Amino acid sequence: MVTELKTKQLTWWPSPAKLNLFLHINGQYENGYHQLQSLFQLLDFGDELAFEVNNSGKVHLANPIEGVPDSDNLIIKAALLLKQTAPSPEAERFGCTIYLKKKLPMGGGIGGGSSNAATTLLVLNHLWKCNLDLDTLAKLGLSLGADVPIFIYGKTAFAEGVGEKLNFTSVPSSYYLVVFPNCHVSTADIFKDPDLPRNTPKIDFSEYQFSNTRNDCQKLVCERHVDVANALQWLLEYAPSRMTGTGACIFAMFEHKKDALHVQSLLPNKMTSFVAKGVDSSPLHNQIQAHI
């Protein structure tokens, strides 16, 4: 745990959540990866990270995530990858202690781990004075996970390919009630399932409407996870709702924050939730710009 004194001394950097407002699986590549289309919407809510840089040459996570060894932790992997790539003769001396305030559920499909990796790359690129541009950082991020580049660029975007081909855009401002049904969905298992639809026709992004899209993973996840199915059925009584990514989180869309908060107040107690606003520019990018 981060002590109260230490918390006051640190600069905390946002690691925002994302939603897939839709997810269509168009096919599958020979290497096993899936060809998809999606719309990434960043939120003004997420985890937070703080970094104490030093010259130890070592990267240390002060409060590790239970059950996730450093060798699998995207935060550590991102920092080490940046050290290896940094165009500086002193890069081997780059070190830091990293602190994490974890608010986003793991396995929720809202990008917690990918966002943590992107925040690590972006902030340490700034603090270590690596001076790598966004395209270079996005390529590094893609090697860590398909969703990392969207957080590197920090903008609302339509995505194609495996999620790395981004077309930046904007959508009408909305508030989202995001609900985590307290179960874990394995992305790998969903994408391996033979019953996953893999032939949805591509759409023209200029014709996107929430009502004429869907999440191709949703039916399969709901069949496997009754908690997801029940939560989605409950939310649909109040607002347009959908699962994000491969789940388990689902979201309902509202024009006004007060309406989202009202429905949140009615949720069964066992459901974890938060209300957030969709943003066209990542709060992390805004904070970094303020520090330059």
| pLDDT given at position 146 | 86
Domain termination residue (choose one: 119, 147, 169): 169
What's the mean per-residue pLDDT of the chain?
A: 93
Is the pLDDT reported for residue 85 higher than 80? Answer: yes
Instruction: For residues 94 and 238, state if they share a domain.
Output: no
Q: Which residues are catalytic?
A: 18, 147
| CATH number of 127's domain | 3.30.230.10
Whether 72 is covered by a domain: the verdict is yes
| CATH number of 233's domain | 3.30.70.890
| Each residue's pLDDT tens digit, 182-236 | 888 988 899 999 999 999 999 999 989 999 999 999 999 999 999 999 999 999 9
Instruction: For residues 30 and 92, state if they share a domain.
Output: yes
Strands 59-61 and 95-101: parallel
Q: Decide which of 251 and 145 is more confident.
A: 251
Instruction: For residues 39 and 82, state if they share a domain.
Output: yes
* 103-112, 218-227, 259-268: least confidently modelled range: 103-112
Instruction: For residues 208 and 248, state if they share a domain.
Output: yes
Instruction: For residues 183 and 84, state if they share a domain.
Output: no
Q: How confident is the model at residue 2 (pLDDT cuts 50, 70, 90)?
A: very low
Q: How confident is the model at residue 65 (pLDDT cuts 50, 70, 90)?
A: confident
Q: How confident is the model at residue 3 (pLDDT cuts 50, 70, 90)?
A: very low
Whether 119 is covered by a domain: the verdict is yes
* 17-21, 46-50, 61-65, 114-118: least confidently modelled range: 61-65
Count the domains in the chain.
2
Domain termination residue (choose one: 139, 169, 199): 169
Instruction: For residues 40 and 160, state if they share a domain.
Output: yes
Whether 1 is covered by a domain: the verdict is no
Instruction: For residues 131 and 215, state if they share a domain.
Output: no
Instruction: For residues 35 and 165, state if they share a domain.
Output: yes
Domain termination residue (choose one: 148, 169, 190): 169
Whether 57 is covered by a domain: the verdict is yes
| Each residue's pLDDT tens digit, 8-17 | 589 999 999 9
Whether 286 is covered by a domain: the verdict is no
Q: Decide which of 34 and 2 is more confident.
A: 34
Q: How confident is the model at residue 275 (pLDDT cuts 50, 70, 90)?
A: very high
Q: What percent of the chain has pLDDT over 70?
A: 97
Instruction: For residues 160 and 227, state if they share a domain.
Output: no
Residues of the domain holding 223: 175-279
Separation in Å, CA 148 to CA 11, 17, 48, 254: 22, 11, 16, 27
Instruction: For residues 216 and 149, state if they share a domain.
Output: no
Whether 190 is covered by a domain: the verdict is yes
Is the pLDDT reported for residue 50 higher than 60? Answer: yes
Instruction: For residues 92 and 180, state if they share a domain.
Output: no
3-state secondary structure the chain: CCCHHHHHHCCEEEEEEEEEEEEEEEEECCCCCEEEEEEEEEEEEEEEEEEEEECCCCEEECCCCCCCCHHHCHHHHHHHHHHHHCCCCCHHHCEEEEEEECCCCCCCCCCHHHHHHHHHHHHHHHHCCCCCCHHHHHHHHHHHCCCHHHHHHCECEEEECCCCEEEECCCCCCEEEEEECCCCCCHHHHHHCCCCCCCCCCCCHHHCCHHHCCECCHHHHHHHCHHHHHHHHHHCCCCCEEECCCCCCEEEEECCHHHHHHHHHHCCCCCEEEEEEEECECHHHHHHHHHC
Whether 289 is covered by a domain: the verdict is no
Exposed/middle/buried for residue 160 (C-beta within 10 Å: 0-12, 13-18, 19+): middle
| pLDDT given at position 8 | 52
Q: How confident is the model at residue 125 (pLDDT cuts 50, 70, 90)?
A: very high
Instruction: For residues 14 and 104, state if they share a domain.
Output: yes
Is the pLDDT reported for residue 123 higher than 60? Answer: yes
Whether 3 is covered by a domain: the verdict is no
